[in-house]
């Protein structure tokens, strides 16, 4: 189906070989594995290792650097499949898209130093330091400073909700190199750095875990005079905001597909349970009160999936896709949540039992409406940039 010159949306279960291969790995990691990780507040090291060794987390790295050289749509299919089979793609998805900043804006030396090792799994790039406690989504007002001092930058400040920093070798960091009051535009003066966590921990870098309502392995990070080699500056100083923007479109498109995968997981298990659960001498699946919420959630997921496919097609065709990526993430986050609610209601009391895994996935999927960008910010973006209305914030 053509909708834009040079951009094509695929229909049906595209990339079937990828789906089958990912599903086989997921089958080795049932619900009991993920429940144990929650009990131990642990990271799915073995699961992520298998995905890495199979080349899935290097899907977007070009072949000359040891990756798969696949389009964004293929990466989205990988993440969707992981979640559809009850596993958690969020524990590894950053490895797929964070490297894009280095790929698109880094020097050739940086690409050769980092990308092949990331593709091979000998270097883990899972952490992205952007959000701060006092600025939240107002990225241009972040307070973490990087000041040039000879051959290094000295970094001070704090980040929060930096997921997987304790399980990553490298971190992509956004810091302000020029005070905002000295900049012509507030988006100027921000720079991106590659931080080696292994060398920095205990030497101006402190990472503290944050406990949340589900096992997300997120952290807060403190920088106190951290020295980062100037050669670890990605691209030009002061242009970091524009560098991360193109990566955010990829992130939102991929997260939308994750949400679609979670939503389909809920539909699959709820339909199966409804058809087998007998109450009052009939399956509860015969009741419209059970059927209709699941059918509506399925319809919403199909629409969200098509929006995610469109965003990926535009991204892969190097066409503007900001609105599409945001809309895909918005629609998928809500469709997934409606599917989760319908599944919980279908399972009734058993939905609250850990052994059925419904409550675990229900908790996990609630984050989609908050991160990586909140629903209200997406609506503001659409109102301003698509509908042409006044900026609301």
Q: Where are the domains of the chain?
A: 2-120, 125-238, 242-386
Kindly tell me if the per-residue pLDDT of 369 is higher than 50. yes
How far apart (Å, rounded) are the C-alpha atoms in residues 268 and 247? 32
Q: Which fold has domain 2-120?
A: Butyryl-Coa Dehydrogenase, subunit A; domain 1 (1.10.540)
Q: How confident is the model over 66-76, as a mean pLDDT?
A: 97
Strand partners, 227: 154
Please write the tens of the pLDDT for every residue from 299-342.
Answer: 999 999 999 999 999 999 999 999 999 999 999 999 999 999 99
Q: How confident is the model over 57-76, as a mean pLDDT?
A: 97
Alpha-carbon torsion, ordered 249, 254, 255, 258, to 10 deg? 170
Selecting from 1.20.1250.20, 3.40.50.300, 3.40.50.12280, 1.20.140.10, what CATH number does the domain 242-386 have?
1.20.140.10
Please write the tens of the pLDDT for every residue from 93-106.
Answer: 999 999 999 999 99
* Percentage of residues in the chain having pLDDT higher than 70: 98
Kindly tell me if the per-residue pLDDT of 393 is higher than 90. no
Q: Tell me what pLDDT residue 4 has.
A: 54
Q: How far is CA 181 from CA 158, 162, 187, 189, in A?
A: 20, 27, 11, 10
Q: Tell me what pLDDT residue 33 has.
A: 98
Rg of the Cα atoms in the chain: 21
Computed over every residue of the chain, the mean pLDDT equals 95
Q: How far is CA 352 from CA 83, 86, 89, 203, 349, in A?
A: 20, 16, 23, 44, 6
* Percentage of residues in the chain having pLDDT higher than 90: 95
Q: Tell me what pLDDT residue 245 has.
A: 86
107, two tokens: 């020097």
Q: Tell me what pLDDT residue 1 has.
A: 34
Q: How far is CA 220 from CA 107, 160, 166, 207, 208, in A?
A: 29, 4, 10, 6, 5
Q: Tell me what pLDDT residue 357 has.
A: 97
Q: Tell me what pLDDT residue 246 has.
A: 76
Kindly tell me if the per-residue pLDDT of 233 is higher than 90. yes
Q: Tell me what pLDDT residue 8 has.
A: 86
- In terms of CATH architecture, what is 125-238? Beta Barrel (2.40)
Distance in Å from the first CA to the final CA of the chain: 37
Would the CA dihedral through 116, 120, 123, 127 be positive or negative? positive
């Amino acid at each position: 189906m053509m909708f834009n010159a040079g951009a094509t949306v695929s229909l049906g279960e595209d990339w079937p070989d990828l789906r089958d291969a990912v599903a086989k790995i997921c089958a080795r990691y049932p619900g009991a594995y993920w429940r144990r990780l929650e009990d131990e507040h642990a990271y799915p090291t073995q699961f992520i290792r298998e995905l890495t060794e199979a080349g899935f987390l290097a899907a977007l790295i070009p072949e000359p650097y040891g990756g798969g050289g696949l389009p964004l749509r293929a990466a989205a299919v990988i993440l969707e499949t992981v979640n559809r089979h009850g596993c958690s793609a969020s524990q590894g998805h950053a490895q797929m898209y964070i490297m894009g900043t280095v790929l698109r804006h880094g020097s050739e030396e940086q690409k050769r130093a980092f990308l092949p090792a990331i593709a091979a799994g000998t270097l883990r790039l899972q952490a992205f330091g952007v959000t701060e406690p006092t600025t939240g989504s107002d990225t241009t007002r972040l307070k973490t400073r990087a000041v040039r001092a000879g051959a290094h930058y000295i970094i001070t400040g704090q980040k929060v909700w930096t997921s997987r920093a304790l399980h990553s070798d490298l971190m992509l960091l956004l810091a302000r190199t020029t005070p905002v009051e000295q900049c012509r535009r507030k988006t100027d003066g921000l720079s991106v750095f590659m931080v080696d966590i292994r060398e920095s921990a205990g030497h101006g870098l402190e990472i503290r875990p944050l406990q949340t309502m589900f096992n997300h392995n997120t952290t807060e990070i403190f920088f106190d005079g951290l020295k980062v080699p100037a050669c670890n500056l990605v691209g030009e100083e002061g242009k970091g905001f524009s560098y991360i923007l193109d990566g955010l479109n990829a992130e939102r498109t991929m997260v939308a597909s994750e949400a679609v995968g979670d939503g389909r997981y809920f539909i699959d298990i709820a339909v199966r349970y409804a058809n087998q659960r007998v109450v009052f001498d009939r399956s509860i699946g015969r009741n419209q009160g059970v059927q209709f919420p699941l059918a509506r959630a399925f319809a919403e997921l199909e629409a969200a999936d098509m929006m995610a496919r469109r965003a990926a097609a535009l991204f892969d065709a190097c066409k503007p896709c900001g609105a599409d990526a945001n809309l895909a993430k918005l629609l998928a986050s809500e469709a997934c949540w409606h599917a989760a609610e319908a599944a919980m209601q279908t399972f009734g009391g058993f939905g609250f039992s850990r052994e059925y895994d419904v409550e675990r996935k229900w908790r996990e999927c609630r984050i989609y409406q908050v991160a990586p960008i909140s629903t209200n910010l997406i609506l503001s973006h659409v109102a301003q940039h698509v509908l042409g209305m006044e900026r609301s914030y």
